Amino acid sequence: MQELHTQTLTQLAAGMQRGDFSSVELIEVLLGRIESLDQSLNAFITVTADAALAAAARADDARAAGDAGVLNGLPVVHKDIFCTKGVTTTCGSRMLENFVSPYDATIVERLAAAGAVVLGKTNMDEFAMGSSSETSYFGPVRNPWDRERSPGGSSGGSAAAVAARLAPAATGTDTGGSIRQPAALTGTVGMKPTYGRVSRYGMVAFASSLDQAGVITRSTEDAALLLGVMAGFDQRDSTSIDRPVPDYVASLAKSLKGLRIGIVRQHFDAGLEEKTAAAVRESLAVLEAQGAILTEVDLPNLDLSVPTYYVVAPAECSSNMSRFDGVRFGHRAKDPEDLFDLYCRSRGEGFGAEVKRRIMTGTYVLSAGYYDAYYLKAQRVRQLIAQDFNKAFAEVDIIAGPTSPTPAFRLGDKTDDPITMYLNDIYTIGANLAGLPAISTPCGFVDGLPVGLHLVGPHFGEETVLRCAHQYQQQTDWHEACPEGYQ
């Protein structure tokens, strides 16, 4: 029998259904791997071993009684930005180092109701602000393909855990590429659904009009399985959209014959590393061989996506971070002289450098005299970018390109230059600004490091995006590659 830690979520579900192993046996294997391997990766902030074993035992009892859910006994890990009742939710920050949530996020509830077993909470850039998982108060996450390199961010802990076979699946959040970029850099599958498709209730906010919950898995089939459980209307989330959730898994088998794929002209510019471009073009040829029709599309305002994002996102960050004032919850400065001192020192001690940088930027662009010049103008450009996508989707079904301009970069290489770090999300930000579904799937290697193919669909086009990625995986085995030392 294939070793348990090497199996995908779908394979594990089938094995448990056959009675090859129990959920408790599976969880014990993975907890053992976390204990022995995570010290070198720092992918986890919290491991909930006792709770996981208890949940696995309940799952085994439910299966024996014929009352098993869709994910019964299957292990997942949550990015430490989702509130989990009775467990710390730190957001990778000193500000929430000791915060224990009194309630579960909606997606935590839904996965638990389907029978999933939570192994723990994963490390991340502080409050999801970063593209390298180096801004965490709990130390940087390391890429299992090369531990001297970044796994990407901000969902780097989730991506590293899945890539290293410490867990078969993980949740993540994507504000400007924070699921898809780490998926590309770690050789995993990262799916961001349409804005509003998955509830944001219980997900600590960074930039509310951009944040979206999603998944990181080892196969597209697993991503479809999890998304089907997580998606759906939630009356507790004002941004949640009341729309039926299709059977994402059932739609995967449909042929790609006649699928119109648009290749973004702006993506293959001077900023894209040549070897990465070659790998992506080879993957597009695989899709074309399956009957897809390739054509070039123009997104003329896409070059403005990074500056637009870094006005809109910090502005919303400034508003959302104001709740952390040392009064109600989170870090509180000792012996404040007055209210002003309490605010200043609590935030100064609790927030890291990148969070402070974005708060200051956001406060500036929202201030009197600058609102029209920066924030209002950025929102207008955001609409132009969304219109470019809409025009393109009138001609094609999917938009394709690279996920990241380069493979994984070395830890520390970009920390002193925030602008260079920000440009790492240049190909992914557009989907967030327009609220579109997108996926990154492994499509090759450059100098021994994974490369990702990025697929974007129209609003609520998750079925098509997942199908395209799945059919690509049926013809390739890049998504099955495992980093040395983690087999």
Instruction: Dump pLDDT digits (tens) for 283-326.
Output: 999 999 999 999 999 999 999 999 999 999 999 999 999 999 99
Domain ranges of the chain: 4-257+476-480
Q: Among this protein's residues, is 356 annotated catalytic?
A: no
Write down the CATH number for the domain with range 4-257+476-480. Answer: 3.90.1300.10
pLDDT the model gives residue 271: 83
Per-residue confidence (pLDDT) for residue 1, from 0 to 100: 52
For 142-161, the pLDDT digits (tens) are 999 999 999 999 999 999 99
- What are 60's two structure tokens? 């085994």
Out of 23, 79, 283, 414, which one is annotated catalytic? 79
Q: What is the pLDDT of residue 379?
A: 97
Residue 265 Rama label (left phi>0; alpha psi -120 to 50; beta):
alpha
The pLDDT value given to residue 269? 78
Would you say 72 and 115 are in contact if contact means Cβ atoms under 8 Å apart? yes
| Cα→Cα distances 378→8, 72, 124, 263, 431, Å | 42, 45, 27, 26, 16
pLDDT at 330: 94
E-strand spans in 60-202? 75-79, 117-122, 169-174, 189-192
d(C-alpha 471, C-alpha 151), whole Å: 26
pLDDT at 419: 79
Q: Which stretches of the chain score pLDDT less than 70?
A: 1
d(CA 265, CA 256): 22
Catalytic residue among 132, 154, 199, 404: 154
Distance of alpha carbon 444 from the chain centroid: 20
pLDDT at 421: 84
Is 178 assigned a catalytic role?
Answer: yes
Catalytic residue among 136, 178, 240, 404: 178
